[in-house]
Amino acid sequence: METIVEVQDIHKAFGSLEVLKGASMPFEEGRITAIIGQSGTGKSVLIKTIIGVMDPDRGEVFFRGEEITTAPAERRREIRRNFGYLFQDSALFDSMSVYDNIAFPLVESLGMRDRKKIRAIVEEKLEWIGLPEVGRKMPAELSGGMRKRVGLARTLAARPEVLLFDEPTTGLDPVLAESINDLIVRVNEEFGITCILITHDIQATFRISNAIGFLYEGVIQEHGTPEELSRTSHPILRKFLTNSFADLGVAG
């Protein structure tokens, strides 16, 4: 299994607040890898350094062995085209129809001009997310779960090699959350896209991920398969997992 993305010794501080203090972790190609950890530990910051919307103070980010943070701006832009991301709020353009939202990366990032081709791809993506009828709607007319699906369709249209999800299921009811988790698995299996996700849903993480990293005190304390993590002797991770699964016991 090839490593497609790797972070090494990432440091990031905001003023006197040291958030990342040497986080390192590989992400294998074609796999689903999750980062878990308490709220405010720097999971989103770590993801932002990977996609390049935030520069680390120190440390390296590799894409297929090539260091990104020190690459020339032009090259960074080029490499970044391999990444797609889905943020918590889906970040759709509110003044554009669903159709135009999905067509946007085709025109802007891939430079496509052939309207028939664009239409075919948009329709295919809408079909794929199970919402073939919503192309003419505006984002404000959609439910939270539908917006999330459309956000995924738009990201997929740009054909990323790596897809990053920041809290894809937070704020959704359990049934919707389940359907988004299913879509992540399908994105991974049907298109072979490497998925990196951050989530509070530990139960789902253990079900759908091939690998999991635990971020605590600015460092990835442990990473491995769900099975390896469930056998951890790391006291904080044990406690974190016990609490997460105990919540589940109460709820279900």
Ligand X SMILES: Nc1ncnc2c1ncn2[C@@H]1O[C@H](COP(=O)(O)OP(=O)(O)OP(=O)(O)O)[C@@H](O)[C@H]1O
Provide, rounded to whole angstroms, the least separation between the CB of residue 96 and ligand X. Answer: 27
Residue 213 contact, options Mg ion, ligand X, none, Cβ 5-8 Å cut-off depending on partner type: none
Give the nearer residue to ligand X in terms of CB position, either 43 or 147. Answer: 43
x-marked contacts with ligand X along 49-68 as a string, rule CB under 6 A: --------------------
Radius of gyration over every alpha carbon of the chain, rounded to an integer in angstroms: 18
In sequence order, what are the residues at sequence separation of 6 or more whose Cβ sits closer than 8 angstroms to the Cβ of residue 217?
A: 21, 41
Among 8, 24, 44, 97, binds Mg ion (CB under 5 A): 44
Report the distance separating Cα 171 and Cα 247, nearest Å.
Answer: 17
Of 52, 49, 54, nearest to 8 by C-alpha is 49
Provide, rounded to whole angstroms, the least separation between the CB of residue 14 and ligand X. Answer: 4
Q: Using the 8-state DSSP alphabet, how is residue 106 labeled?
A: H
Report the distance separating Cα 207 and Cα 70, nearest Å.
Answer: 36
* 122 exposure class (CB count in 10 Å sphere: 0-12, 13-18, 19+): buried
Report the distance separating Cα 165 and Cα 199, nearest Å.
Answer: 8
Among 4, 7, 10, 19, binds ligand X (CB under 6 A): 19
* Size of residue set near Mg ion by CB under 5 A: 2
Give the nearer residue to ligand X in terms of CB position, either 37 or 84. Answer: 37
Q: Is 26 in the site for ligand X (CB under 6 A)?
A: no
Query: For Mg ion, which stretch binds (CB under 5 A), given 43-51, 174-182, 204-212, 239-247?
Result: 43-51
Report the distance separating Cα 98 and Cα 227, nearest Å.
Answer: 40
> Contact positions toward Mg ion, by CB under 5 A?
43-44
> Contact positions toward ligand X, by CB under 6 A?
14, 17, 19, 37, 39-45
